[in-house]
Structure 1
Amino acid sequence: MYSLFRKEITGFFGSVTGYLVAFVFLIANGLFLWVFPGNYNLLENGYATLDSYFSLAPWIFLFLVPALTMRLIAEEKRLGTLEILVTRPLSLFQLVWAKYLAGLFLVAVCLLPTLVYFYSIYALGNPVGNWDSGAAWGSFTGLFFLAAAYVAIGLLASSLTDNQIFAFMAAFFLSFFFYTGFDFMASMNLPVGLKSFFNGIGINKHYLSMSRGVVDSRDVVYFVSLTFFVLMLTSIFLRQKQKKLKKQLQKLALLAVGLILLAGISSRLFFRIDLTTEQRYSLSPISKELINQLDAPVKINLFLAGELPPGFRKLQLAVEEKIEDMNAYADIRVRYESMNPYQLKNANERNQLFENLISLGLQPTDLRLTRDEGTVTHLIFPGAVIRYKGEEIGVNLLKNNPALAAEVNLNNSVETLEFELMRALQQLLGHEKDEVAFLNGQSELNDAETHDLRTTLSENYRVTNRLATDLVSGEMQPKALIIADPSQPFSETDKFFIDQYLMRGGNLLWLVDPVLVSLDSLSRGETTLAFPRDLNLMDQLFRYGVRVNPVLVQDVECLMIPVNTAPVGSAPKFTPAPWYYSPLLTPAQSHVISRNLNRLKAEFVSSIDTVGQHIDVKKTVILHTSTYSRIVKTPEEISLQSINNPPSRNLFQQSLVPVGVLLEGQFSSAFKNRITEDFNTTHIEFLPESKPAKIIVLADGSLIANQVSRRNGQTQTRPLGYDNFSQQTFGNKEFLVNAVNYLCDDTGIMSLRSRVFKLRLLDKVKVREEKFFWQLLNLLAPLALISLFGLIFNFVRKRKYRG
C-alpha cells in the first residue's frame, strides 16, 4: 500500500504537469485574493480576515482536485496496469485507499504554500497581529475536510473511465453537483422535509459552517461518511467484473443504512467547538431555551442583498451565520431569504414595499455606490422582517451612531445581532405582557409628552397610568414604574407607597429635575433664574444610595442652536452656536443598557453622586457627560445672551460627570424605623427590606419628553430625541427602552447586549503604501515554495537512485 502511495507522489512531482497544476491553482488564488478588484479582494475589503479565501477555495478546488485525481485510476486502466495491481496481495479497498491518500497529499502540498496569506494578514493587521487566528485555523480545518470529499469524488470519476479528460469532466460535474446541486433542489417548491433533506446531504451547508471556524461533530460525521461511502463505491466499480460484486453491493447497502443511522444519531447527540476568539458563533443558553419554544416554522426576510460595500456584506454574512447558528439548535428550522428591493423593476411595487417596511419600523439609510457611470445612491433597509404564525415584526440590524466611524457602527451591529433576533422572537412567541406604569399625581409629563416612548413600550408591555396609592393594591403590581419629570413635591404618603412597591420587588425609573428653569422666559429671549426645586424626594433617593445634586452641568459636547448674528437693523442671519446647557450625554459602554448607543439629547442636566456603604446594592454609572464639562451651582442667571460671551474653555475641567446611575440589589426601606400609621392609608403590611429590585435614576426629566406641537386643534409629536435644528434623532428612545427592558428582564435576555467582538481592520496606510509589495509577495512566494519543494524532492530522488 505504501509503495503504491509513493509511486503516485513520485509520478506527480516527477512530471511538469504536476507543477503546472499547482502553479495554476496558486496563481488563480493569488490574483483573485490580492490583485483583481472585487468581493474576494482581501486588501479592498479592509478587514483582517481570510473569509474571502475560504469562500473562493471551493470554486478553485473544482478545477484543482479533478486535475490532480483524473489520472490516478484512469491512467492505470489506459496502460493496462490495473489488472496487475489487482492480482497483488492487496485488496481493492486498500488499492483505492492508497490512491486516495496520494491524492489528498497532493492537495495538501498545494494548500500549504497559501499559509503565506496567513502571515500577510497577520502583518497587515492594525495593530500587527490583530486577527482571529483561531477562526483562521478552524476554517483551514474545514477546507481540508472539503478537499477530502472532493478527492474521493475525483477518484470515483477516475475509476469510471480510462480517459483522463473524461475523468476530469466527470469529477468537475460530480463535485459541482455535490456542492451546489442539492442546494438548488432545496430551493425548489418542495415540502419542508425534502428541502431540509437536500440541504443536509449537500456539501455547501456543512462547509460553510466549518469555514467560519466552528467544528461541529455533525459536519465532521458528514464529511467522513461521504468520503468513506464514495471510496467504497469506487472499489465496487473496480470490482464489477468479479464474482463478489453482489456481495459488495449488499455491503454498500448496509453501509448506506449505517451511515444514515449515524447521521440521525449525530443530529441528536452533537457538540460544537467554536474556535473563534470571542466565541462569536456560539449561542447563549438563553437563546437556546427561547429557540426550543418554537412550535412552528420561522421565516426571516433579510433586506441586505445585491451590490453592497464590504462592511454591509460582512453584516449580511453575520446575519446569515447567526440564523444558521439558531438552526443548529432549533427543532423546527428557521428559514431565511435575502432580498434586494431593487430587483423589483416596477417602481410602484418597489415604493409599496418601502412603505410596508417603514410601517414595520425598519429605518432606511442611503447607500452610495461608485460605478463606471458615476455615483449612484440607493435607499436600503439594513434590517429584517420575521414572520411566525401569521405575525410579523421588523428588526433594525444596523446600529448607526453618527459619532462613530462606519466600521465601528457595523461591528456594533454584529455584536447585537443575537440580542435583536432573540428579542423579536420573544415578542412573536406572545408571552404574557408585563405591566409598565407611569406615575401620576405630581404633575409629571402627560401622555402626549411621553407619547413616543409609550407607543414603543406598548409593543412589549401593557402601558398604564397609576397613582402611588394604587401601586401595591390587588395581587398584581407593575413590573416597572416610570416617574417622568415630576414638578410638584411628593407627599409622605406617596413616597411610602413607592417605597413599599420597591420593597415588594418593583423596579423604578426616576427622571427628575432638581433644578427649576423657566423655559418660557428663555424662549422669549429673557433672562431667567435657575434655582433648586424642592420635590421632597432627595432624602428617599439618598437612603437608596444616590444624591441628585441641585446644580447644572455644562458641556463642550452640546447641541447647536440657531442664533441671530446680523447687526441691528439688518435682515436676520442665523448661525449655529453651542448651547452648553444642552449637553450630549454619553451612554457608558460598560453596561448592557447603554452599550453601542448614540448620545442622548438633554437640557438642564444635574449631576448624581453615589452615597453610602450599601453592601447589598450594586451601583453602576450608565450615563455621563463628556471629558470636558463643568458644574454650575444654583441659583444662577441663565440667558441666551451668554452664547455671545461663552465661559472660558479652561473652566471645563471636569470629566465624565455621572448623570444616570443604576442601583440593583436588596434595598432597605426609606421608612425603616419610622412610624408609618399616618400615611399607610390602605393599611398594607410594612416591609423593611426589599426583594431583589432595580432602580435607575436619571438627573434630567427632559430625556423622556418628545416635542409636542398643536396645529388646527390637533396634537402632533416628534420622535423622542429629535433635534429640530440639526434634524438628528439622538439615542434617547433606545436608551430608555433598554432601561425599561433591563428593569423588567427576568430571563436575562438583556445580557446578550454585553457581547463584545473586537474590530479587526487592516492597516489602511500600510495597505496603500505597500500594496504592490504584498501583492507580489502573495503571488510569487507560494510559487517559490512549491518550486523549492520540487527541487528538494527531485534532488533527494536522484541522489537516492544514483547511490
Structure 2
Amino acid sequence: MYSLFRKEITSFFGSITGYLVAFVFLIANGLFLWVFPGAYNLLENGYASLSPYFSLAPWIFLFLIPALTMRLFAEEKRLGTLEILITRPYSLLQLVWAKYLAGLFLVLVSLLPTLIYFYSIYNLGNPVGNWDSGAAWGSFIGLFLLAAFYVALGLLASSLTDNPVFAFIAALFLCFFFYTGFDFVAAMNIAPGVKSFFLKLGISAHYESVSRGVLDSRDMLYFVVAVAFVLVLTSMLLRRKQQNRRQQTKKLLGLLVGVLVLMTLGSQWFFRIDLTSEKRYSLSPVSKEMLTGLDAPLKVDLYLAGDLPPGFRQLQQAVAEKVQDLDAWAAQSVRLELRDPYEISNTDKRNKLFNQLVALGIQPTDLRQSQEQGTVTKLIFPGAVIRYGDQTIGVNLLKNNPSLAAEQNLNNSIETLEFELMNVIRQLLQGEKPEVVFLTGQGELSEAETWDIRSSLSENFRVTEKTAGQLLATDSLARAVIIADPSRPFGEQEKFWIDQYLMRGGNLLWLFDPVQVSLDSLSRGETTIAFPRDLNLMDQLFKYGVRVNPDLLQDVECILIPVNTSPVASQPKFSPAPWYYSPLLTPADDHVISRNLNSLKSEFVSSIDTVGRNPEVHKSVILHTSPYSRKVGTPEEISLRSINSPPARELFQQSNIPVGVLLEGQFPSVFANRMTNQLNSPGIQVLTKSKSARMIVLADGSLIANKVSRRNGQIRTQPLGYDEYSQQTFGNKAFLLNAVNYLCDNSGMMALRSRVFKIRSLDKVRLREEKTYWQVLNLAGPLVIILLFGLIFQLIRLKKYRG
C-alpha cells in the first residue's frame, strides 16, 4: 500500500503537470484574496479574519481537486496497468485507499503554502497579533475535511472511465452537485422536513459550520462517513466485473442502511467544540433550553442583502452564523433567507414592502455608495422578520449609538445578536404574558404620557394599572411595578402595601423627581424656583439602601435648545445653546441593562447615593452623568436667561454622578418592629425580610415620559426620548425596556447582553503604506514555497538514483 502511495506522489511531482496545477490554485487564490477588488479581498474586508479565504476555497477546489485526481485510475485503465494492480497481494479497498491518500497528500501540499496568509493577517492586525487564531485553525480543519470529500469524489469519477479529461469533467460535476446541488433542491417550494433533509445531504451546510471554527460532531461524522461511503463505492465499481449485480445491490443497500443508522445516531447524541477565543458560536444554556420548545419550523427573513460595505457584510455573516447555531440546538429547523428589497424592480411594490417593514418596527438607515455615475443613496433595513406558525415579528439588529464609531456600533450589534433573536423567540413561545403594573393614585404620569413605553412593554407583558392597595389583592403577584413620576406624597398605607409587595418577591422601578420645577413658568420665559418635593419616600428608600438627594445636576454633555440671539426689536434669530439642566445621561457599560446604549435625555435630574452596608443587597450604578458635571443645591432660581451667562467651565469638576441605581437581594422591611394593625386591615402576614427581589431607582421622572400634544381635539404623542430640536431619539426607551426585562427576568436571558466580542480590524495605516508589499508577498510567496519543495524533491530523487 505504501509503495502505491509513494508511486503516485513521485509521478505527480516528477512531472511539470503537478506544479502547474498547484501554481494555478495558488495564483487564483492570491489574486482573488489580495489583488482583485471585491467581497473576497482580505485587505478591503478591513478585518483581521481569513473568512473570505474559506468562503472562496470551495470554488477554487472545484477545479484544483478534479485536476489532481483525474488520472489516478483513468490513467491506469488507459495504460492497462489496473489489472496488474488488482492482482497484487493486497485488497482492492487497500488500492483505493492508497490512491485516495496520495490525492489527499497532493491537496495538502498545495494548501500548506497558503499558511503565509495566516502570517500576513497576524502581522496586519491592529495591534499585531489581534486576530482569532482558534477560529482560523478550526476553519483550516474544515477546509481539509472539504478537500477530503472532494478527493473521494474525484477518485470515484476517475474510476468510471479511462479518459482523464472525462474524469475531470465528471469530478467537477460531482463536487459541484454535492456542494450546491442539494441546496438548489432545498430552495424549492417543498415541505420543511424534506428541505432540511436535503440541506443535510449537501456539503455546504456542514462546511460552513466547520469553517467558522466550530467542530460539531455531526459535521465531522458527515465528512468521515461520506468519504468512507464514496471510497467503498469506488472499490465496488472497480470490482463490478467480478461480482454479479445482485451481490453488488445487496452490498450497496447494506452500506446505505449503515450510513443512515450512523447519521441518525450522530444527530441524536452530538457535541460541539467552539475553537474561537471568545466562544462566539456557543449558545447559552437558557437559549438551548428555549429552542427545545419549538414545535414548528422557524424562518428568519434577513433584509440585509445586496451590495453592502464590509461592515454590513460582516453583520450579515454574523446573523447567518447565529442562525446556524440556533438550528444546531433547535427541536425544529431554523432557516435563514436573505432578501434584497432592491431586487423588486417595481417601485410601488418596493415601497409597499418598505412600509410593511417599518410597520413591523424595523428602522431603515441610509447607505451612501460611490459608483461611476456618482454617489448613490439608498435605504437598507438592517433587521429581520421572524415567522413562526401564523406569528410574525420584526426585530432591529443594528445598534446605532451616535456617540460611537460605525465599527463599534456594528460590533455591538453582533454582540447582542443572540439576545435579540432569543428575545423574539421568547415572545413567540410564551403563553400567558407576565403582568407589569403602572402604579396610580399618587399623581403619576398619565397613560398618554407613558404611551410609548407601555406599547413597547405590551409586546412581552400584560400592562395594567393598579393602586398600591390592589398590589396584593390577588393571589398572583405582578412581575414588576413601575412608579412613574408621582407628584403627591405617599401615605403610610400606600408605603405599607408597596413594602409588603417587595417582601413577597415583587420588583420595583422607581422614577421620581425629589425637586419640583415649574415647567410652565419656564416655557413662558419667566423665572421659577426649584425647591425640594416631599414625596414621603426618603425613609423607605433609605432603609432599602439608597438616598435620593434634593439637588439638581448640571452637565456639559446636555441638550441643545433654540435661543433667540437677535437684538431687541429685530427679527428673531434662533441659535442652539446648551441647557445644562437637561443632561445627556450615560448608561453604565459594565451592566447588562445599560451596556451599548445611547445616552438618555433627561430634565432636572438629581443625584443618588448608596447607603448602608447590608451584605444581602447588591448595588450597581447603571446610569450616571458625564465626567464634566456638578451639583446645584436647592432652593435655586432657574431661568432661561441663565443661558446667556452660563457657569464657568471650571465649575464642572464632578465626574460620573450616579442618577440610577439597581439594588438586588433580600431587603429589610420598613415596617419591621412597627405597629401595623391600622395599616393591615385585610390581616395579611407582615413579612420583615423580602424574598430575592430587585429594585431600580432613577432620580428623574421625565425619563419615562414622552411628549404629548393636543391638536384639534386629538392627542398626539412623540417617541420616548425624542428631541424636537436635534430630531434625534435618545436611548430612554431601550434603557427602560432593558430595566423592566431585567426586573422580570427569571431565566437569565438578560445575561446574553453581557457578551463581549473584541474588534479585530486591520491596521489601516500599514495597509495604506505597505499594501504592495503584502500583495507581492502573498501572491509570490506561496509559489516560491512550491518551487523550493519541488527543487528539494528533485534533489532527493537525483541523490537516491545516482547513489
TM-score above 0.5, yes or no: yes
Cα shift at 1:249? 4.6
Instruction: Tell me whether 1:30 sits opposite 2:30 in the alignment.
Output: yes
Q: Deviations over 1:673-700 (max 9, x none)?
A: 2222233343322110101100000011
- Corresponding residue number in structure 2 for 1:771: 771
Cα shift at 1:735? 0.6
Q: Deviations over 1:218-265 (max 9, x none)?
A: 111110111111111111222222247754553333222111100000
Equivalent pair of 1:236/1:245 in contact (CA under 8 Å): no
Partners of 1:474 and 1:21 in 2: CA distance: 78
Cα shift at 1:192? 2.5
Which deviates more from structure 2 when the two are superposed, residues 733-742 or residues 637-646?
A: 637-646
Equivalent pair of 1:232/1:252 in contact (CA under 8 Å): no
Partners of 1:730 and 1:679 in 2: CA distance: 42
Which deviates more from structure 2 when the two are superposed, residues 432-441 or residues 728-737?
A: 432-441
Equivalent pair of 1:122/1:130 in contact (CA under 8 Å): yes
Cα shift at 1:308? 1.2
After TM superposition, the score normalised by the length of structure 1 is 0.98
- Corresponding residue number in structure 2 for 1:325: 325
* Helix, strand or coil at the partner of 1:463: strand
Partners of 2:297 and 2:95 in 1: CA distance: 48
Partners of 1:608 and 1:132 in 2: CA distance: 42
* Helix, strand or coil at the partner of 1:11: helix
Partners of 2:9 and 2:627 in 1: CA distance: 66
Question: Aligned letter for 1:725?
Answer: Y
Q: Deviations over 1:681-731 (max 9, x none)?
A: 433221101011000000111100000111111111000000000000001
Instruction: Tell me whether 1:736 sits opposite 2:736 in the alignment.
Output: yes
Equivalent pair of 2:14/2:794 in contact (CA under 8 Å): yes
- Corresponding residue number in structure 2 for 1:619: 619
Equivalent pair of 2:593/2:738 in contact (CA under 8 Å): yes
Equivalent pair of 2:529/2:637 in contact (CA under 8 Å): yes
Which deviates more from structure 2 when the two are superposed, residues 154-163 or residues 176-185?
A: 154-163
Cα shift at 1:193? 2.7
Instruction: Tell me whether 1:305 sits opposite 2:300 in the alignment.
Output: no
Partners of 1:592 and 1:432 in 2: CA distance: 26
Q: 1:253 to 1:605 in 2, by over 3 A?
A: same
* Helix, strand or coil at the partner of 1:328: helix
For structure 1, the 5+ residue unaligned runs are none
Partners of 2:473 and 2:636 in 1: CA distance: 43
Partners of 2:347 and 2:443 in 1: CA distance: 50
Instruction: Tell me whether 1:664 sits opposite 2:664 in the alignment.
Output: yes
Question: Aligned letter for 2:275?
Answer: L
* Helix, strand or coil at the partner of 2:637: strand
Which structure 2 residues correspond to residues 103-502 of structure 1 after superposition, within 5 A? 103-243=103-243, 247-502=247-502
* Helix, strand or coil at the partner of 1:288: helix
Which deviates more from structure 2 when the two are superposed, residues 433-442 or residues 190-199?
A: 190-199
- Corresponding residue number in structure 2 for 1:595: 595
Partners of 2:292 and 2:586 in 1: CA distance: 37
Cα shift at 1:122? 0.9
Partners of 1:169 and 1:293 in 2: CA distance: 46
Q: Deviations over 1:739-758 (max 9, x none)?
A: 11111111221111111111
- Corresponding residue number in structure 2 for 1:751: 751
Q: 1:250 to 1:448 in 2, by over 3 A?
A: same
Partners of 2:131 and 2:627 in 1: CA distance: 31
Partners of 1:537 and 1:197 in 2: CA distance: 62
Cα shift at 1:194? 2.2
- Corresponding residue number in structure 1 for 2:653: 653
Q: Deviations over 1:335-362 (max 9, x none)?
A: 2321111111111111111111111111
Cα shift at 1:734? 0.8
Partners of 1:613 and 1:361 in 2: CA distance: 44
Question: Aligned letter for 1:198?
Answer: F
Partners of 2:636 and 2:116 in 1: CA distance: 67
Q: Deviations over 1:281-302 (max 9, x none)?
A: 1111111111111112222221
Cα shift at 1:167? 1.1
Which deviates more from structure 2 when the two are superposed, residues 80-89 or residues 398-407?
A: 80-89
Q: Deviations over 1:754-803 (max 9, x none)?
A: 11111111111111121111111111111111111111111111111111
After TM superposition, the score normalised by the length of structure 2 is 0.98
- Corresponding residue number in structure 2 for 1:15: 15
Q: Deviations over 1:582-634 (max 9, x none)?
A: 11111111111112111100111111111101111111111111111111122
Equivalent pair of 1:239/1:245 in contact (CA under 8 Å): no
* Helix, strand or coil at the partner of 1:38: coil
- Corresponding residue number in structure 2 for 1:58: 58
- Corresponding residue number in structure 2 for 1:516: 516
Question: Aligned letter for 1:489?
Answer: P
* Helix, strand or coil at the partner of 2:756: coil
Question: Aligned letter for 1:685?
Answer: Q
Equivalent pair of 2:293/2:331 in contact (CA under 8 Å): no
Partners of 1:787 and 1:18 in 2: CA distance: 11
Partners of 1:337 and 1:474 in 2: CA distance: 46
Which deviates more from structure 2 when the two are superposed, residues 719-728 or residues 764-773?
A: 764-773
Partners of 2:146 and 2:244 in 1: CA distance: 32
Equivalent pair of 2:240/2:248 in contact (CA under 8 Å): no
Cα shift at 1:452? 0.6
Partners of 2:577 and 2:773 in 1: CA distance: 49
Equivalent pair of 2:398/2:413 in contact (CA under 8 Å): yes
Equivalent pair of 1:236/1:249 in contact (CA under 8 Å): no
RMSD over aligned Cα, in angstroms?
1.3
- Corresponding residue number in structure 2 for 1:558: 558
Partners of 2:251 and 2:638 in 1: CA distance: 92
Partners of 1:173 and 1:245 in 2: CA distance: 26
Identity %: 71
Question: Aligned letter for 1:29?
Answer: N
Cα shift at 1:459? 1.6
Partners of 2:553 and 2:16 in 1: CA distance: 78
Equivalent pair of 1:565/1:573 in contact (CA under 8 Å): yes
Q: Deviations over 1:370-391 (max 9, x none)?
A: 2222221111211111122211
Equivalent pair of 2:723/2:729 in contact (CA under 8 Å): yes
Cα shift at 1:3? 1.1
Question: Aligned letter for 1:223?
Answer: F
* Helix, strand or coil at the partner of 2:367: strand
Instruction: Tell me whether 1:631 sits opposite 2:631 in the alignment.
Output: yes
- Corresponding residue number in structure 2 for 1:583: 583
For structure 2, the 5+ residue unaligned runs are none
Question: Aligned letter for 1:693?
Answer: A
- Corresponding residue number in structure 2 for 1:791: 791
Question: Aligned letter for 1:417?
Answer: L
- Corresponding residue number in structure 1 for 2:99: 99
- Corresponding residue number in structure 1 for 2:3: 3
Cα shift at 1:310? 1.2
Which structure 2 residues correspond to residues 666-705 of structure 1 after superposition, within 5 A? 666-705=666-705
Which deviates more from structure 2 when the two are superposed, residues 142-151 or residues 549-558?
A: 549-558
Partners of 2:33 and 2:609 in 1: CA distance: 55
Cα shift at 1:276? 0.9
Q: Deviations over 1:100-139 (max 9, x none)?
A: 1011001001111111111111111111111111111101
Partners of 1:641 and 1:191 in 2: CA distance: 70
Partners of 1:658 and 1:678 in 2: CA distance: 37
Q: Deviations over 1:433-474 (max 9, x none)?
A: 111111112111111111111111112211111111111112
Partners of 1:54 and 1:772 in 2: CA distance: 23
Question: Aligned letter for 2:153?
Answer: I
